[in-house]
């Protein structure tokens, strides 16, 4: 009785959302992590107008930057232009993006440092981000005066850093190869570290619900440094908080898919997939997509072309892109990279990749 209706609804739905709900779509929908960014001349032109946080917090600019790759490449997903470190900034931690160095924050090392953060500030401080999302959704689903709607087929993605990865930057105060201060605190002062993680877990769930209310149709949790942790710590600081956030979203905003990205998790990725409740797993470059599909047959997978192949372009990129795409044929798969687009990537290579993935 409902069969026809269901099919009619899914076939007219957004391809990316259909895959996140578990449907195999061919050719697979695609978007790229860091698809808006320094490799695009139109992004660099806007970059000179305002610093990074101002760009994130000005709906005109953040909306425009989010839509740049959609206009150019007709991606299936538009990911909000913002950053995972906007959450600690909104709680009151100092944050600066220093050219050539990356983010610099006032490091959290003591109870007193933690006490200066206030999660109650987040809703007001991130109001411009929510405004950006509602404008984006209206543009993507509306008539098409600026060429970004693509027939209403583009899904809007919100995101946050997962608590462990955000804690890495908050405690260390800057990027790092191994985040020694952070991982050291987790062992030496677990009470303090757990309080920070609890604060982040709650604030992240609240912020993602707000993003959904503003128009995000799916959300992604970036856990870029998950792979630094040994198994027991991985369960405690990656799987447990991710599960708490996913459950909170499922309860408060049922039906909205969460994509999880536990980068460099290795063999722990299978446990993450089973135990967190994420609707889709984003795989890093080092993970064999077909092998992961064998371990979690029902879960949609996203990924995982090496961003350096996108930089290189040519036949090597084409062959590997086809190989990833074809290995996932008949399964729910969102084509993406295994990590973000690197700044020197020629924009033509992105166009070529999109053409190859869509040739079917
Ligand atoms: O995917 C997207 O394009 C959406 C926007 C987005 C940004 N950062 C914009 C950004 C997303 C989803 C992120 C996630 C993010 N931010 C992660 C997780 C994913 C990953 O790459 O591992 C992390 C660890 C960060 C923290 C961060 N932000 C760092 C370490 C840096 C500096 C290094 C770098 O990559 O530039 C940033 C700055 C940042 N975030 C920029 C952009 C476009 C560059 C700022 C500039 O214009 O100079």
Average pLDDT of the segment spanning 225-252? 98
Average pLDDT, the chain: 95
Average pLDDT of the segment spanning 43-64? 94
Task: Round to whole Å and give the CA distance between 51 and 98.
Answer: 10
- For the chain, what percent of residues have pLDDT higher than 70? 97
Indicate whether residue 175 lines ligand 1 (CB < 6 A). Answer: yes
Ligand 1: which residue has its CA nearest to atom 27?
103
CB atoms within 10 A of CB 46: 16
pLDDT of residue 147: 79
Atom number of ligand 1 nearest to Cα 36: 3
pLDDT of residue 172: 98
Ligand 1: which residue has its CA nearest to atom 20?
224
Atom number of ligand 1 nearest to Cα 55: 47
Rounded to two decimals, what is the model's pTM? 0.95
Average pLDDT of the segment spanning 66-74? 97
Indicate whether residue 46 lines ligand 1 (CB < 6 A). Answer: no
Confidence of residue 5 (pLDDT cuts 50, 70, 90): very low
Indicate whether residue 36 lines ligand 1 (CB < 6 A). Answer: yes
Write down the H helix ranges in the chain.
3-12, 15-20, 41-47, 52-57, 59-73, 86-90, 111-115, 122-125, 127-141, 163-172, 180-188, 190-214, 231-234, 240-252, 268-276, 289-295, 307-312, 314-327, 347-358
CB 257, CB 279: distance < 8 Å: yes
Ligand 1: which residue has its CA nearest to atom 39?
83
Residue 7, pLDDT above cutoff 70: no
* 86-132: pLDDT as tens digits: 999 999 999 999 988 999 999 999 999 999 999 999 999 999 999 99
Residue 113 burial by CB count (10 A; 0-12/13-18/19+): exposed, middle or buried? middle
Task: Round to whole Å and give the CA distance between 299 and 24.
Answer: 11
pLDDT of residue 146: 77
pLDDT of residue 11: 55
Residue whose entry in the numeric block shows the structure tokens 């076939």: 11
Catalytic center residues: 34, 38, 47, 83, 169
Q: Which CATH class is domain 3-358?
A: alpha beta
Confidence of residue 151 (pLDDT cuts 50, 70, 90): confident
Ligand 1: which residue has its CA nearest to atom 22?
224
* 285-328: pLDDT as tens digits: 999 999 999 999 999 999 999 999 999 999 999 999 999 999 99
pLDDT of residue 88: 98
């Amino acid at each position: 009785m409902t069969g026809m209706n269901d099919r009619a609804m899914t076939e007219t739905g957004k391809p990316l959302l259909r895959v996140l709900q578990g449907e195999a779509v061919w050719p697979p929908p695609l978007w790229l992590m860091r698809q808006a960014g320094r490799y695009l001349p139109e992004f660099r032109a806007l970059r000179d107008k305002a610093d990074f946080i101002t760009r994130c917090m000005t709906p005109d600019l953040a909306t425009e930057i989010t839509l740049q790759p959609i206009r150019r490449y007709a991606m299936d997903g538009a990911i909000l232009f913002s950053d995972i470190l906007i959450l600690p900034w909104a709680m009151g931690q100092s944050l600066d993006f220093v050219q050539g160095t990356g983010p610099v924050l006032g490091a959290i090392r003591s109870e007193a440092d933690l006490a200066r953060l206030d999660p109650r500030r987040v809703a007001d401080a991130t109001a411009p981000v929510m405004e950006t999302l509602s404008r984006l959704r209206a543009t993507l689903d509306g008539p098409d005066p600026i060429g970004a709607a693509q027939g209403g087929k583009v899904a809007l993605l919100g995101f946050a850093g997962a608590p462990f990865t955000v804690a890495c930057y908050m405690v260390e105060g800057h990027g790092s190869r191994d985040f020694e201060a952070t991982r050291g605190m987790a062992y030496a002062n677990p009470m303090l570290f757990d309080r920070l993680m609890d604060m982040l877990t709650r604030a992240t769930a609240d912020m993602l619900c707000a993003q959904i209310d503003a128009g995000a149709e799916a959300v992604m949790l970036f856990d870029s440094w998950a792979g630094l942790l040994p198994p027991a710590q991985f369960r405690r600081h990656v799987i447990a908080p991710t599960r708490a956030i996913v459950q909170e979203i499922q309860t408060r905003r049922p039906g909205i898919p969460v994509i999880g990205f536990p980068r460099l998790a290795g063999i722990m990725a299978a446990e993450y997939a089973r135990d967190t409740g994420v609707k889709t797993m984003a795989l890093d470059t080092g993970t064999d997509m077909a092998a992961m599909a064998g371990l979690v047959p029902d879960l949609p997978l996203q990924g995982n072309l090496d961003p350096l192949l996108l930089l290189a372009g040519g036949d090597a990129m084409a062959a590997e892109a086809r190989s990833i795409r074809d290995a996932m044929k008949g399964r729910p798969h969102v084509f993406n990279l295994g990590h973000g687009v690197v700044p020197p990537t020629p924009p033509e290579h992105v166009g070529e990749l999109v053409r190859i993935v869509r040739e079917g």
